[in-house]
Structure 1
Amino acid sequence: MNLLTQSAWTELGMAKYQGPSFQPKPLEKSDIINIYYYLRSFISIQELSNLLGIPIFIKGPHSDDSIVINHKSEFGHYHPEFPIRLRKYFVPAVNDSSFKSLTQSTYDQYIKNLARTFFVVYIKLNSNSEYYHKEIERYQELCKERRLDPFFLEKFVHFMKLGYTDSEDIEEAAKFKTFKGDDDFDEDLVKQVVGFWIRRQIDKTDYQFYLGLADLISTYDQKFYEERLE
């Protein structure tokens, strides 16, 4: 597993898209789904499951070969051990400064935008737990009612904008911790990432995924990491 992870880091720029036949985004502009299909150049879900010794998903519509993103009542629930075991291998540079130097350009070119978006959305969602839990409950209700429309996430396209809130009433409007530069994040990616963290709250893997993400950003993007935790 260590050799596989190191290979993925050093050869990521050569990854070939392994997904549906529509025109994919370039690797450096990948969203959540695109990056998965690029990473399939190195390993499939089933192969990763075999190496880690656990199923990746314990519930949901996904298969060994494809990710189902528009199901009306289900989503993939990760095995609770998955982010814990993955974290052991995910960022080889955590304890290897030479490997960090070798792969810093890979992070900067292909991973930084995606990683930063995951990080800032997590921080902002958790800066207002009342709002966050309300949206989690709404998502769960839609699943139960089989009304999880793919357009549900559209309301989050402006989530990282400095003026974002959920009400015109100043007294009732949700308030969040904000930072300079929040307006710069890609809106389509932001809405996907909000959905990811809502689902991870539901399947109880959010904090373990966050720890792996923190390893990644604190290793390759330390200044940004420290600024966002002030």
Structure 2
Amino acid sequence: MDTIHREYLHPLWVRIWHWLNAALFLALTVSGFSLHFSGSAAQLLPFRTAILVHNASGGLFAIALVLYVILLGITGEWRQYFAVRPRMLTLIGQNLRFYLIDVFKGAPHPESPTRTQKFNALQQVTYFLVLVVGMVPVAVTGVMLSVPETAPKQILGAGGIWPVAVLHTLLAYGLVAFFVGHVYLTTMGPTLWSDIKSMFTGWHEHVHGQADIQPQEQGDTP
């Protein structure tokens, strides 16, 4: 019979930022689609309302992101994104196979989260890219669109605002795709709701015998 022990993985400030970020991102998505597809059936909010919602939630999103990055540095949580672990490429391949194939066979997860390494290898790379290549640039380009004076005069010979707007839109679509995939993958924990529950409580439930690589065997350094 499997036994379960609980480990505290997610500090309160991380959980607050996570759910605030999720709410703001949903507001940005709905208002952004309404602005981008104004006048069509995809317009979910009136145009003026969409502008107000997008600007307000975008400003809060940028402020929350800056505070998150600062707290990552102060608390040492930045190591969750930057730690280089042994057999990194092998672990990425194992996790990719798990999510695409093995999970549907009831196979055990190749990694088990710990307080010092709560992301598996695939999550670590993905979240790093989402943060550095997705969220930061989309916030910066959003500020430039809200305050055009901050945008470059020209980019590659084109007026600065147009390339910034295109980049902002492409980044937004990429983040929406990540958001959908992220929500889906949260259902692949020990139970359907266990990963979502842990982001409310901070506690992760380890099911003994579930992981091929137990926490004490990973050899990861913070």
Task: Please tell me the TM-score bracket, short chain as reference.
Answer: under 0.3
Which structure has the greater CA radius of gyration? 2
TM-score, normalization by structure 2: 0.26
Higher strand share: 2
TM-score, normalization by structure 1: 0.25
Q: With CA pairs under 8 Å and 6+ residues apart, which has the higher RCO, 1 or 2?
A: 2
